[in-house]
Amino acid sequence: MPESKTLTIKRPDDWHVHFRDGAMLATVVPYTARQFARAIVMPNLVPPVTTITAANAYRDRIAAAVPEGVAFTPLMTAYLTDETDTDELANGFEQGVFSAVKLYPAGATTNSASGVTDISRVAGVLERMQDIGMPLLVHGEVTDPDVDVFDREAVFIDQVMSQLVADFPALKVVFEHVTTRDAVDFVADQSGPVAATITAHHLVINRTDIFRGGIRPHLYCLPIAKREVHRQALRAAATSGNAKFFLGTDTAPHAISVKETACGCAGIFSAPTALEVYAGVFDEEAALDKLENFASLNGPAFYGLAANTETVTLERAELVVPESVISAEGEAVQPFQAGETLGWRLA
Ligand code: NCD
Ligand code: ZN
């Protein structure tokens, strides 16, 4: 069969991004807005986004960073803490300010110090969210320092996630940035409204890549990339067409200065070429016909939103990933696969 040279799909959305704030926000927002119509914006600022007022102000700062003539809608989230006021979340959801709530186990990842120390403390909040149909987005890793970092997602399923979905069977739950076969199987097996996002980078790298020829801090993120069998399971899930799996890049920019250091930050900045990387993966898996489901249809369906009506066209052509992206204040950020050549680009 002749290879098609272009692929047109409904404009996609990114269901998991970190935009940060200030100069970094101004630098990174255009990359996401170029490709995606909407994005779920993670609330792990310092201090975190916990109120309607803070979310509205943050949304306005994001909107101000969107280039002229580009249509992009940020979908805001609330950061769940032990002290979260249930009414604030429910009111924010009903007013259309909050699209979802993010649960970070306290200490699990970048800027998660104010996260939840024990699920039992937020049971009342979850009950209410279940009643009103407000999605819970979960960073699924245990934080016990004695649990091996490569096992933290699988242990989270056993210790937290299984009970969570049993206790709240009608709660909409997104298992964010899944990295293991265990998580893929868990999500696929659920009869309730449980879905998962899959990043571009976890479809491309395994844990060996982090150490290929030397330690590669720009491939360090949380959850950390796992063994090859897990990468293969993620690729199979993403390209399966199963509506439970959808696109969420977890693009998480950090300045090169805090990545290339003795104790580097977790986070991979994939926004500049995210859609192109996904397209390459789907092409390699001979599943380009499933890209639209994963990137443009499954996410809106889960969130109860309409798919976008406009389209984007990808073309089979070489695209060199920029070595770095530099903010107005001169801060450099290195994108995922910097300097490498991709096989697809946005037309
Ligand atoms: C994210 C960040 O930097 O905010 N880092 C990461 O490695 N993914 C936080 C997160 O989503 O875990
Ligand atoms: Zn994230």
* Rounded Cα–Cα distance for residues 314 and 159 (Å): 42
pLDDT score for 111: 87
Give the residue from 88, 32, 13, 26 showing the smallest Cα distance to 273: 32
Distance 16 CA to ligand 2 centre (A): 6
Distance 5 CA to ligand 2 centre (A): 33
* Ligand 1, atom 5: closest residue by C-alpha: 267
What value does the mean pLDDT take over residues 146-159?
98
- 3 state DSSP class of 200: coil
Half-sphere exposure of 89 (CA within 13 A, CB side): 28
266 within ligand 1 shell (Cβ under 6 A) = yes
* Rounded Cα–Cα distance for residues 225 and 215 (Å): 14
Distance 317 CA to ligand 1 centre (A): 31
> What are the tens digits of pLDDT across the range 245-286?
999 999 999 999 999 999 999 999 999 999 999 999 999 999
What value does the mean pLDDT take over residues 155-182?
98
Q: Mean pLDDT in the chain?
A: 97
Distance 293 CA to ligand 2 centre (A): 22
| Most ligand 1 atoms within 8 A of CB, residue of 18, 141, 143, 249 to mutate | 18
pLDDT score for 2: 58
Provide the residue type at 270 as one letter.
Answer: S
Active site residues: 250
Provide the residue type at 77 as one letter.
Answer: T
Q: Which ligand is nearest to the CA of 111?
A: 1
pLDDT band at 181 (very low <50, low <70, confident <90, very high): very high
Domains of the chain: 6-346 (3.20.20.140)
pLDDT reading at 55 higher than 70: yes
What value does the mean pLDDT take over residues 69-97?
97
pLDDT score for 109: 85
pLDDT reading at 139 higher than 60: yes
pLDDT reading at 41 higher than 60: yes
The ligand 1 atom at the shortest distance from the C-alpha of residue 18 is: 4
Q: Which ligand is nearest to the CA of 202?
A: 1
| Most ligand 1 atoms within 8 A of CB, residue of 46, 49, 109 to mutate | 109
* Rounded Cα–Cα distance for residues 258 and 256 (Å): 5
> What are the tens digits of pLDDT across the range 202-211?
999 999 999 9
pLDDT band at 108 (very low <50, low <70, confident <90, very high): confident
152 within ligand 1 shell (Cβ under 6 A) = no
What value does the mean pLDDT take over residues 110-139?
95
pLDDT reading at 1 higher than 60: no
How do beta strands 136-138 and 341-346 pair? unpaired
pLDDT score for 328: 82
pLDDT reading at 182 higher than 80: yes
Q: Which ligand is nearest to the CA of 249?
A: 2
> What are the tens digits of pLDDT across the range 305-322?
999 999 999 999 999 999
Distance 46 CA to ligand 1 centre (A): 13
pLDDT band at 122 (very low <50, low <70, confident <90, very high): very high
What value does the mean pLDDT take over residues 95-109?
95
pLDDT reading at 241 higher than 80: yes
What value does the mean pLDDT take over residues 118-140?
97
256-278 burial string, b = 16+ CB within 10 Å, else e? beebeeeebbbbbbbbbbbbbbb
* Rounded Cα–Cα distance for residues 20 and 329 (Å): 15
Question: To the nearest whole percent, how much of the chain has pLDDT over 90?
Answer: 95
Question: To the nearest whole percent, how much of the chain has pLDDT over 70?
Answer: 99
Distance 4 CA to ligand 2 centre (A): 34
pLDDT score for 173: 99
Query: Cβ neighbours of residue 120 under 8 Å, at least 6 residues apart?
Result: none
pLDDT reading at 46 higher than 80: yes
| Most ligand 1 atoms within 8 A of CB, residue of 137, 221, 334 to mutate | 221
pLDDT score for 49: 98
Q: Which ligand is nearest to the CA of 108?
A: 1
The ligand 1 atom at the shortest distance from the C-alpha of residue 253 is: 3
Q: What is the pTM of this model?
A: 0.98
222 within ligand 1 shell (Cβ under 6 A) = yes
What value does the mean pLDDT take over residues 29-47?
98
Half-sphere exposure of 27 (CA within 13 A, CB side): 23
